Structure 1
Amino acid sequence: MNLLPKESVPRSECRLVLGILYCSAQKALEATLLSALKMLDVGKWPIFSLCSPEEIKLIRQACVFGSAGNEVLYATENDEVFVLGMNCSGCLGTGDMQSTIEPRRLDSLCGKKIACLSYGSGPHVVLATEEGEVYTWGHNAYSQLGNGTTNHGFVPCQVSTNLVNKKVIEVACGSHHSMVLTSDGEVYTWGYNNSGQVGSGSTANQPIPRRVTSCLQNKIVVNIACGQMCSMAVVENGEVYVWGYNGNGQLGLGSSGNQPTPCRIAALQGIRVQRVACGYAHTLVLTDEGQIYAWGANSYGQLGTGNKSNQSYPTTVNVDKDRVVEIAACHSAHTSAAKTQSGQVYMWGQCRGQSVTFPHLTHFACTDDVFACFATPAVMWRLLSVEPDDHLTVAQSLKKEFDNPETADLKFLVDGKYIHVHKVLLKIRCEHFRSILNNDDEIIEMSEFSYPVYRAFLEYLYTDNIRLPPEDAIGLLDLATLYRENRLKKLCQQTIKQGICEENAIALLSAAVKYEAQDLEEFCFRFCINHLTVVTQTQGFADMDHDLLKNFISKASRVGAFRN
């Protein structure tokens, strides 16, 4: 199979071909594309109809970008990187500005293993590898490539100024500015700065990466995002810091004035944010309770509030009664999407030119499909990635062997059911088993814990993950405490958080206190305070242990829960 270009084509011819494909190709090709894909579904983006089924079968990562979704970069199972499309401003990185309907290989990126990618409006592209290196190319009129010039970059070049010995783990682009997050929680920005979006305190463009300091100086940032001309950062304690353009209230500060340096959103005091996502001029955040807040521009209903009025303060978005686990937006569109814990996908905002002002339940299985089928332009809001399924890593091989009676040399009998395991793995992975297992053991009866709990524990030793409903995770928390498995204890707390509601909040708080799970205890306490009226009317509160009740009331009083 030849993945190299046959020839470049004139821009007008390429535009005509792409236009025809956008109008007619999707239905005819979707079945073929989907059957060719192992897991990564790119068939809903018409530009992939330029690729053969054989080429698509090899794709492991992909990003459709550009002003009309007319450019794409993808990586194959062999870590080769290819591009095709219009090539506006040299954004394909091929060394020229020629459009191409044949995939062209980017030799400089082959073998690099892409970790994350983002793009601007020019467009320009910012890419980070798994090694933490940063490469940029494309439009550069505002120094958004970070190389100290304003010359367009026609090939990917590494950005090293001020990033030497730094490992970049996340990238984000606004219309013409760039931002990266390092593994030690530092944020660096560069590019267009007419509204303070690089956070330097001035409005002068920034030609090279510089660390964003001010009130982020001693903070550890865990997530970043960019709107068209604004920037956002979430720090490890769940606070959100914002800077840049604020004409539509997209900074959530209660005003419309621009902000040249990072400023904390005071209206989110006491709320722990996990993720932030930015649209063209609106912002979404996801809290650790699975709740969405939105603010900013709302002319298409992209805030999901039921109207089209802009909001300069964080406003709750009601997505049914289910817990939200993912939010999606991108700075080139006015569309919002979310996925719930049960797998339902909702969309709102500008959807195929229509204004959807409330979250609308879709038939999609992922938020990516919302942007493929309903956003304008039809671009990807993130780099789509998939692991190959024809080669098993060591971790995948171990996972496959869990509870396999053909290779196991030990059985646990729990509630009348057998769980098949391997002695050597248990000894390697768990200090408890290292001290109790003997070579002549064949069957061990377990009566201290239920079958679902003990199976989840043993599976965790093979996979590093737990698969257990939140209501059963308390038993696993008990086991983790008894066996002194601190990492498992943290995972249990995360799982339990996902199942919290007004009815069980007190029970979960009691369990957290009992097992000295401080993070879970704080989470449950904050949940109870935020839902105090309903929680105090539950049977769990009526049956609350006297000492726990006393401590709860005292602590609630200290945080002002009973003020008029």
Structure 2
Amino acid sequence: MKKIPTDTDVDIELFQDDFKDIDQEFIISIVSIFKIAKESKEIGFLFMTDDATYAYGDVICEWLSLEHDPKRPQQIDILNDKKIIQVDSGNEFVVVLTDDGLVYLASSDDSEWQTYNTLQLITTGNDRFEMIACGQHHLLLLRQDGTVFALGDNEFGQLTGNSESSYDTVVNTGLNNVKIIACGEGHSLALTNTNEIYSWGRNEDGQLGLGDTDDRRTPSLVSFPDGSINSQIKNIVAGEWHSVFLLEDGQIFGCGYGQPPINNNEPNAKVPTKIPIENCQSMACTNYLHISLALDHSSHYYEWGRLNYKKLLPLKKLDGQLKSFAAASAAMVIESPITFGLTSTIYVFDLHDPISFIQLLNNPDNYDVEFVIGDKRILALKCYLKMTSKYYKRMFSGDWQKDNRVTIHDYTYDVYYSYLHMLHTGRIRIKQYNIFKFIDLANCYGDKRLMKHCQTFMQKLINQ
């Protein structure tokens, strides 16, 4: 199982201040992006186009013996013809995983990694990896057979064992059958295929979730407060001194520094503690910040923790119609948004109408029709669809009047869900790769409003 993407896509205009000097022609060619950063300074960016990978920024170009050009990112030749599936970074280093299972690392001259101003392949014989995770000074690698390896600093036991730090030889952690890995500043996490979480490394604030503040040099099993949970674990992430766990049923738990509920006597949870967010679908942390973000199934974003050495923040729902974790990070008064992993970049047309009947869409407690698209379904109410669309009024007054299942063959789940979302909220996101499907749907359903949005998007694209 590869890393669960935090954001499927991000509007590149979020970074317009960072990219103001780059040629517009190049910006349009960017298909994915990763921001390399640390708490004290910005390092730069990695850009992926359809056929190459580029570095942008003084610092990252110096790491790679490239000459920074503010108008044109620099191509990284060693990655030509390689598809990048994950990027992560720590303090003064960045790591890249390609789809052929190879891992590359670049670092500053001042770091212990000593990559000598190149993007250096981490050689491990014939091993192939499917996931990486970076702490501030260490790195975890998940081999395709589920075995976890480590590199870097071992001050707190984050590599496991009492051995010295290892920057050039991978260390076998002894963990097998693992499907997801994560790193905080100095601690490590692993989720197994048997629904078990193991933690090790630094534990000063209870971030290992083991009920105390003692560091661990061997992976230790994390237990939830009631001794068991009735759901599979969907994902694990780590912040600087905390950890967060997401369950398939939408519950979210945290341990370590600043995990809510916060009280004046004990700001740190030493065991996984339930965070009062219902129906959570995704979450995000980074190894150099104390902030956590979460997204629920109603498209609301939440934050908690501490930002820029200010006091601890209680759990807070963020204002506005945010569309990504990167946008949520910008809402926290951060100078430039954070990309929580490799993120696809898009140009989008956004519509904002002051209506919202989103509670009527995909509500398992209140529906009378389901649209079936492949192995997925979308739940809705016929009466609302008939009020908002002439097409659905005809549909549910005819042969399908008593039918509660409608199979959709001509459109993908994403396109059809986006259309129904527009009917319920007044908002739609049109992208370059799906514009023609929306035009086809608008023609087929006789939806003049959708067609107008498609025309507006096309005109904007032509102008750009």
Q: Quick check: TM above 0.5?
A: yes
- C-alpha deviation, 1:307, in angstroms: 3.5
More contact order relative to length (CA 8 Å, sep ≥ 6): 2
Question: Within 5 A, what are the aligned runs for 1:46-65?
Answer: 46-65=17-36
Determine the structure 2 residue equivalent to 1:275. 235
Code of the aligned partner of 2:257: A
**Quick check: 1:245–1:258 contact (8 Å CA) kept in 2?**
yes
Find the partner of 2:219 among 256, 262, 265.
262
Residues 1:289 and 2:218 are matched in the alignment? no
Asked if residue 338 in structure 1 is aligned to residue 290 in structure 2, the reply is no
Equivalent runs, 1:175-324 vs 2, <5 Å: 175-199=136-160, 201-206=161-166, 207-213=168-174, 216-217=175-176, 220-267=177-224, 269-271=227-229, 272-298=232-258, 303-307=259-263, 309-319=267-277, 322-324=278-280
Distance change in 2, residues 1:465/1:346 (3 Å): same
8 Å CA contact retained: 1:224, 1:234: yes
The answer to whether the Cα contact below 8 Å between 1:91 and 1:124 also exists between their aligned partners in 2 is: no
Residue 103 of structure 2 is matched in structure 1 by: 134
TM-aligned CA deviation for residue 359 of structure 1: 3.0
- Per-residue CA deviation, residues 228-267 of structure 1 (Å, 9 max, x unaligned), is 0010011122211001011111101011111001111123
| Aligned partner (choices 431, 434, 455) of residue 407 of structure 2 | 455
Q: Secondary structure at the match of 2:179?
A: strand
The 8 Å contact of residues 204 and 214 in structure 2, kept in 1 or not, is answered as yes
How do residues 82-101 of structure 1 correspond to structure 2 at under 5 angstroms? Answer: 82-87=54-59, 93-95=63-65, 100-101=69-70
Q: Deviations over 1:149-203 (max 9, x none)?
A: x4244121211225x242x22111111111112232221111100110012x114
Matched, 1:109 2:79: yes
The structural deviation recorded for 1:130 is 1.4
Separation in 1, partners of 2:42, 2:107? 14
SS at match of 2:25: helix
Q: Does 1:326 align with 2:289?
A: no
Q: Which of 154, 164, 172 pairs up with 2:117?
A: 154
Judged with a 3 Å threshold, the aligned counterparts in structure 2 of structure 1 residues 66 and 197 are, in CA distance, closer, same or farther, namely: same
Separation of aligned partners in 2, 1:155 and 1:267: 44
Aligned partner letter, 1:63? F
Q: Is the 8 A contact 1:95 1:155 kept in 2?
A: yes
1:343 to 1:452, Cα distance in 2 relative to 1, 3 A: farther
* Offset, 1:386: 4.9
The aligned runs of 1:525-564 (5 Å cut-off) are: none
| Partner Cα distance (2:372, 2:297) in 1 | 28
Return the letter of the residue paired with 2:11: D
What is the distance in 2 between the residues matched to 1:263 and 1:91? 39
Displacement after TM superposition at 1:291 (Å): 0.7
- The 8 Å contact of residues 333 and 376 in structure 1, kept in 2 or not, is answered as no
Equivalent position amino acid for 2:42 in 1: N
- Contact 1:137-1:156 at 8 Å conserved across structures: yes
Give the direction of change, closer, same or farther, for the CA distance of 1:185–1:141 in structure 2 (3 Å limit). Answer: farther
Q: Which has the higher helix share?
A: 1
Q: Tell me which amino acid in the other structure corresponds to 1:385.
A: S
CA contact (8 A) 1:113 1:129 kept: yes
User: Structure 2 vs 1, CA of residues 154 and 247 (structure 1 numbering), >3 Å: closer, same or farther?
Assistant: same
Alpha-carbon distance between aligned partners in 2 of 1:100 and 1:180, rounded to the nearest angstrom: 33
2:49 maps to 1:77: yes
In structure 2, what is the equivalent of residue 488 of structure 1? none
Instruction: Give me the whole-angstrom Cα distance separating, in 1, the residues matched to 2:261 and 2:297.
Output: 21
SS at match of 1:126: strand
| Structure 1 residue 58, shift from structure 2 partner | 1.2
Match for 1:94: what amino acid?
L
For 2:242, give the aligned amino acid: H
Question: Shift of the alpha carbon at 1:323?
Answer: 0.4
2:46 alignment partner, SS class? strand
Cα separation, partners in 2 of 1:95 and 1:273, compared to 1, 3 Å: same
Q: Could you tell me whether the CA contact under 8 Å between 2:372 and 2:405 is conserved in 1? A: no
CA apart distance, 1:375:
6.7
Give the secondary-structure state (helix, strand or coil) at the position aligned to 2:51: coil
**Contact 1:83 1:92 (8 Å CA) reproduced:** no
Q: Distance in 2 between matches of 1:243 and 1:336?
A: 20
If each structure's strand is expressed as a fraction of its own residues, which one has the higher value? 2
The Cα of 1:71 is off from its aligned counterpart by: 2.9
The match for 1:124 is 93
1:381 is aligned, of 340, 355, 359, to: 340
Q: Distance in 2 between matches of 1:63 and 1:174?
A: 16
Distance 1:388 1:347, change over 3 A: closer
Deviation at 1:388, TM superposition (A): 10
Closer, same or farther: CA 64–128 of 1 in aligned 2, 3 Å: same
Change (3 A) 1:388 1:176: same
Structure 2 counterpart of 1:371, which letter? Answer: S
So what's the TM-score if we normalise by structure 2?
A: 0.68
Residue pairs, 1:422-433, within 5 angstroms: none
How far apart are 1:387 and its partner, in Å?
8.1
Q: Check the 8 A contact 1:307/1:357 in 2, yes or no.
A: no
CA contact (8 A) 2:253 2:274 kept: yes
Contact 1:91–1:137 (CA under 8 A) maintained in structure 2: no
In the superposition, relative to structure 1, how do residues 203 and 287 fare at CA in structure 2: closer, same or farther (>3 Å)?
A: same
Distance between the aligned counterparts of 2:340 and 2:41, measured in 1?
Answer: 11
Counterpart of 1:399 in structure 2 is none
| Paired residue type of 1:236 | N
Q: Secondary structure at the match of 2:119?
A: strand
Kindly indicate whether the alpha-carbon contact (under 8 Å) linking 1:277 and 1:285 is maintained by their aligned counterparts in 2: yes
- Cα offset, 1:111, TM superposition: 2.1
Write the distance in 2 (CA, Å) between the matches of 1:57 and 1:354: 40
Give the aligned residue type for 2:342.
L
Query: Shift of the alpha carbon at 1:211?
Result: 2.4
Alignment deviations for residues 310-332 of structure 1 (CA, whole Å, 9 cap, x no partner): 1111111002xx40010110011
Deviates more, 1:237-246 or 1:350-359: 350-359
Q: In 2, distance between residues paired with 1:193 and 1:260?
A: 9
1:465/1:42 CA distance change after superposition, 3 Å: closer
- Given that 2:209 and 2:271 are in contact with CA atoms closer than 8 Å, whether structure 1 keeps it comes out as yes
